[in-house]
Amino acid sequence: MSSSEHNVTAMVIPSEDQHMSEYIAACDERRAYISGFNGSAGTVIVTLKDAFLFTDGRYFLQAEKQLDSNWTLMKSGLPDVPTWQEFLSKNLEKHSRIGIDPTLITAADAESLETSLKAKESHLVSLTDNLVDFIWEDRPPRPANKVFPLDVKYSGESHQDKLKRLREELNKKPYKAMVVNMLDEVAWLFNLRGSDIDFNPVFFAYAVVTHDNSLLFVNTSQVDDVVRTHLGDPVQIKPYDEFFPYLRGLGGEVDLSDELQVLVGDKCNLAIVEAIGRERITILRSPIADFKAIKNETEIEGFRQCHIRDGAALTRYFAWLEEQLNSGTQLNESQAADKLEEFRSELDLFRGLSFTTISSTGPNGAVIHYSPDPADCSIIQKEQIYLCDSGAQFLDGTTDVTRTWHFGNPTDEEKRAFTRVLQGHIAIDTAIFPNGTTGYIIDSWARRPLWEDGLDYRHGTGHGVGHFLNVHEGPQGIGVRIAYNSTALKSGMTVSNEPGYYADGRFGIRIENIVIVRDAQTPNNFGNKGYLKFEHVTLSPIHKKLIDASLLTAAERSWLDAYHAEVLDKVSPLLKNDTRALAWLERECSPL
């Protein structure tokens, strides 16, 4: 079937959106099939004559290798290279009809794209079937792994109570219904987990909540009686494929004669909006995202506990790695990462990694999103900085930790930069701020010590972290993105604290803990706002050998010693059977 039968003159598979794991997977596999390029980010545009792949600097070399002569590589970020959105509105002919799979683009992105296409009187055309799927005969089936309940002893709140809270929220406006399309929101709402997407314990599903009904649309083969019993009668399980037909008939279920009565989250896809009708819909930041961002006391205690276990695995790994390098063993970055996974996999409640381990030696550490290719990666060098960013999923929480080591003799430059990063890390860890303060406001606290030396880093300072869910979640964060200025940090939120410094082609430094926002007891309470602080839950020593102690204030020095005493106290009981790890931990946790 050719695209002309759909009466479109171009087709687009848009690029990833980091907040939409289900889209990424769906876009990635189709992009890889049609173009041959299997990097993690890129947009495909196919016209009647030509084919274009847009990707960024991380993937120029890889794309050049993988694309054949049918394809033109568009190097995003280079001067004079348009974004794919600009390309559609500027480079295509007038009156283009651009085919798109409406489940693979957010309604908001489609709306702004439509606006920019007006200049050339072009239009987006929603295709009921994805054009790639028409020609992809041996397409592997989508993962359909077993869904399982998360016990309330881990989630801390029954799904009945969560549904009640959500309905109370809907009543405020009031809305007649809410459509939930983010996979982590569905999983959180029903206290269910799955494994359809690597690293993210979610499953393909949609949900609709009205005042009388809760509907979960899921491939019924993934759901067994345990799940049905867990959900109980008030939750109706419907086949996944009935979701869009249900939305089209929603007006028959609830009275939608007034406008704007259906709430959908701001990441909802275009297909949902088209199925219900734009005029019936209010698009807002999902209230479930806001609920989910604030962890309850059970989840917080789970975060604490899983980080103690995680700290034990990290200790065993770093002690092992040091010994290997000291004994001259040749280890590549991927082999090392595998060993770390092995240690983690022995931990209680372990359910897989939370992202691909970044195990990087020397210059690879300066590539912020580096992950070692098992078939082609570097040997870890004792005389280079080693940066390891890793994490795991546990039933009681999610971890994400970065430590930076030098197993030989670090240079003064490396030590000074590491110390500046550490000072930024401590500045966030010890922060106290009034309710209402956003992560945008305090981001500069992490950068100040680096700026003093004319250093900086080109990424955020912290992202939200899911509870046995996606390791990156919104809406809060600490960073220079103005979006972080719309969400105040609130007691119970989780966020990473990960300043860094990267010397291109030489080394990378990052120190990352997960912290939880908690109420602070201050001597005063000016403005009756209440004040907040952070509690760190990550427990792994910070490499003293990389510290230039002369730069530290007395308070910073005390912070480090206290942190190390805490790490030793909490983690050492789990290391009874690993004397190497215990000895290593005692050494690394001794006072500076």
- Which residues of the chain form contacts with its own copies (CB under 8 A)? 431-434, 437, 441-445, 448, 450-456, 458, 501, 520, 522-527, 529, 531, 553-555
Mapped onto helix, strand or coil, the DSSP state of residue 466 is coil
Q: How far is the CB of 435 from its own copies (least distance, A)?
A: 11
The CA distance from 263 to 208, in Å, is 10
Residue 576 CB, nearest approach to its own copies (Å): 40
DSSP-derived pairing of the beta strands 235-238 and 214-218: parallel
Q: Closest separation between CB of residue 366 and its own copies, Å?
A: 12
Least distance (Å) between residue 553 CB and its own copies: 5
Query: Edge-to-edge strands of the sheet including 531-536?
Result: 432-434, 531-536, 513-520, 494-497
Q: Between 126 and 430, name the residue whose CB sits nearer to its own copies.
A: 430
List Cα–Cα distances, 144 to 154, 225, 299, in angstroms.
Answer: 24, 16, 27
- What is the enclosing helix (H) or strand (E) of 580? helix 579-588
What is d(CA 501, CA 420) in angstroms, rounded to the nearest whole number?
9
Q: Tell the smallest beta-carbon distance from residue 131 to its own copies (Å).
A: 42
Q: Nearer Cβ to its own copies, position 292 or 425?
A: 425
Residue closer to its own copies by CB (options 439, 466) is: 439
Nearer to its own copies, 254 or 483 (CB): 483
Instruction: Characterise 454 by phi-psi region: left (phi > 0), alpha (psi -120 to 50), beta (else).
Output: left
Angstrom distance (rounded) from CA 5 to CA 404: 56
Single-letter residue type at 448: R
Nearest-approach distance from CB 19 to its own copies, in angstroms: 24
DSSP codes joined into one string, 313-359: HHHHHHHHHHHHHHTT---BHHHHHHHHHHHHHTSTTEEEESS--EE
Euclidean distance between CA atoms 20 and 42, whole angstroms: 15
Q: In what order do the strands lie in the sheet with 281-284?
A: 235-238, 214-218, 205-210, 177-180, 262-265, 281-284
Q: Which is nearer to its own copies, 56 or 253 (by Cβ)?
A: 56
CB of 555 vs its own copies, minimal distance in Å: 7
Cβ nearer to its own copies, comparing 394 with 484: 484
Nearer to its own copies by Cβ, of 22 and 443: the residue is 443
In this structure, what DSSP letter does residue 395 have?
T
Eight-state DSSP code of residue 575: G
Contact call for residues 256 and 262 (beta carbons, < 8 A): yes
Contact 342, 368 (CB under 8 A): no
Looking at this protein, which amino acid is placed at residue 6? Answer: H
Decide whether 107 or 450 has the Cβ nearer to its own copies: 450
Distance CA(190)–CA(588), nearest Å, equals 43
Least distance to its own copies, CB of residue 410, Å: 17
Choice between 341 and 548, CB closer to its own copies: 548
Collapse the DSSP code of 494 into the 3-class scheme (helix H, G, I; strand E, B; otherwise coil) and give the result. Answer: strand
For its own copies, the closer of residues 392 and 428 by Cβ is 428
Q: Which of 352/434 has CB closer to its own copies?
A: 434
Least CB distance to its own copies at residue 75 (A):
21
Min CB(386)–its own copies separation in Å? 22
Question: Could you tell me the smallest distance in angstroms from the CB atom of residue 439 to its own copies?
Answer: 11
